[in-house]
Amino acid sequence: MQEHRYVSAVDASGRYFTDQHGAPLLVFGDSPWAGMVRWSPEQAESYFADREARGFNASIISLVGASANGGPDDDGRTYDGILPFEDGDVTRWNEAYWARVDEYVRAACDHGNTLFLYPIDGWTVSTTFSDATDDDAFRYGALVAERYAEFPNIVWMTGGDHFPSDLPDRNDSPPRHDELFEQVRAGIRSTGDDRLFSIQLGYPASVSTDSPQWAPRVDFNFVYTYLPTYRAVLDAYRRDRLPALLSEANYEGENNLPGTPVTGDVVLRRQMGWALTSGSPGYFYGSDDWEFLPGWEGRLDTPAVAQLSRMRELFASLAWWTLQPDESTDILTGGRGEHVAPGVDVGIMDDEHVTAARGGDTFIAYVPTARTLTVDPAALAQPTARWVDAAVATAPPVEAGIDASGTLTTPGPNSAGGEDWLLLLRLRR
């Protein structure tokens, strides 16, 4: 049986994650935010088994529930009424609740799933933690770290729709929230726990180091955007020598940016394709079932999940960790279209920019719509392009010759009736 791999460290390059043995690990995550308080033990096991079968290896999840993060109530209770704390005191734990959490963390571990785990988040900070003192929050962080010290499948998170006071233009969150987040983090670190940590800021686009107070504390940038994903990923990649992980974008079945269509397969493919060709060391999917609405079990494996899983397989088959964003005209000399300027709010389907990455002799571009491109034939090791169907990226590619003019045209509709393709070229070394 193959050993499971977990997100364990950041590579010395600062660009991607490695597993417990130091090997590059491409993150492919889901976002079951409310699972800890919505699942039965049987459902948790079923969920993680299903996600393993689909290629997922990570999950975004809150440790304690609140109405706004998908839980049944603001007191943190589970679907069947088990409270996390006695008399609302975050340092007095109800063992029945935490024994169940133990089961879920273990189930994730057994299925190769790294939990991007929020001990306190942007919603519980004003509900279950509203009366916590600094000492309470610090002690709680230490208790969490001590209880889950044996598990290799945890990355620590905090925040969530969080707008701290040092963010330009928008600073809705009370400074007290940052104080409590920091005390929980400090409590975790006081135990000697050095597992990776980051913070999720606010929408419609942010990266963790946007906040000067949090920038020195994070180990990677949690990229959060409802806009064309390449913009925020590229900004994070260029700014910091940290992994620029696209961790939240538009969720399937939701309409996260006002005035845009409900998120379907094409939007999800664009989000992932743009991100992986712009420097992100992975991609997190999410759906309208993050709060586990009735019947969620029958909606786990949508066509989009299958399509994204195959795109993950394609990138995993490449030396993806060597890929660096390429916005130049050295290889792809024409047809890319204009990119979205920083700070401009535009929907995913209102942008058609082509993104690309290169590493070694590999060049890969995500082409969201039908068009004619031009490449420099002199840069290529062979006069052949491979067009990969973005909806079924593990299918045999469509090969096309490249003449002296370097002109290439997308092959028509893909297998899902869309226009998006991935272009693979082999470069001269």
Please indicate, yes or no, whether residues 280 and 331 belong to a single structural domain of this protein.
Answer: no
Please indicate, yes or no, whether residues 276 and 200 belong to a single structural domain of this protein.
Answer: yes
pLDDT along the chain (429 residues), means of 10: 90 98 98 98 98 98 98 98 98 98 98 98 98 98 98 98 92 96 98 98 96 98 97 97 98 93 97 98 98 96 98 98 97 94 88 97 98 97 96 96 94 97 96
Question: How many domains is the chain built from?
Answer: 2
The answer to the question of residue 277 being in a domain is yes
14 in the Ramachandran plot: left (φ > 0), alpha (ψ -120 to 50) or beta?
A: left
Please indicate, yes or no, whether residues 333 and 312 belong to a single structural domain of this protein.
Answer: no
CB 105 within 8 A of CB 49: no
Q: What are phi and psi of 336, to 5 degrees?
A: -75, -30
Q: What is the pLDDT of residue 429?
A: 85
Q: Is 288 exposed, middle or buried (0-12, 13-18, 19+ CB in 10 A)?
A: middle
Please indicate, yes or no, whether residues 312 and 345 belong to a single structural domain of this protein.
Answer: no
Please indicate, yes or no, whether residues 129 and 273 belong to a single structural domain of this protein.
Answer: yes
* DSSP H helices in 191-247: 229-239
Cα(183)–Cα(189) distance, integer angstroms: 10
Greatest C-alpha distance within the chain: 75
Please indicate, yes or no, whether residues 328 and 303 belong to a single structural domain of this protein.
Answer: no
- Look up the CATH number of the domain holding residue 110: 3.20.20.80
Domain finish residue from 300, 318, 336: 318
Beta strands in 25-108 (DSSP E): 27-30, 58-62, 85-86, 89-93
Cis peptide before 243 (omega within 30 of 0): no
CB 10 within 8 A of CB 266: no
The answer to the question of residue 4 being in a domain is no
The answer to the question of residue 3 being in a domain is no
The HSE-up count of residue 195 (CA atoms within 13 Å, CB side) is 27
Q: What are phi and psi of 26, to 5 degrees?
A: -80, 120
The answer to the question of residue 2 being in a domain is no
Task: Quote the domain boundaries for residue 269.
Answer: 9-318
Q: What is the pLDDT of residue 1?
A: 53
The answer to the question of residue 104 being in a domain is yes
Please indicate, yes or no, whether residues 288 and 342 belong to a single structural domain of this protein.
Answer: no
Please indicate, yes or no, whether residues 160 and 48 belong to a single structural domain of this protein.
Answer: yes
Beta strands in 48-141 (DSSP E): 58-62, 85-86, 89-93, 114-118
CA dihedral sign, ordered 123, 124, 130, 132: negative
The answer to the question of residue 72 being in a domain is yes
Domain finish residue from 318, 347, 372: 318
Please indicate, yes or no, whether residues 144 and 51 belong to a single structural domain of this protein.
Answer: yes
The answer to the question of residue 347 being in a domain is yes
Nearest Cα neighbor of 26 from 215, 245, 198, 187 is 245
Cα(154)–Cα(26) distance, integer angstroms: 16
Please indicate, yes or no, whether residues 338 and 356 belong to a single structural domain of this protein.
Answer: yes
CB under 8 Å to 329, separation ≥6 — which residues?
none
- Look up the CATH number of the domain holding residue 356: 2.60.40
Q: How far is CA 427 from CA 48, 335, 357, 363, in A?
A: 39, 19, 12, 7
The DSSP annotation for 353-366 comes to: --EEEEETTEEEEE
Domain finish residue from 287, 318, 349: 318
Q: Is 391 exposed, middle or buried (0-12, 13-18, 19+ CB in 10 A)?
A: buried
Please indicate, yes or no, whether residues 392 and 295 belong to a single structural domain of this protein.
Answer: no
The answer to the question of residue 262 being in a domain is yes
Cα(236)–Cα(253) distance, integer angstroms: 27
Please indicate, yes or no, whether residues 307 and 331 belong to a single structural domain of this protein.
Answer: no
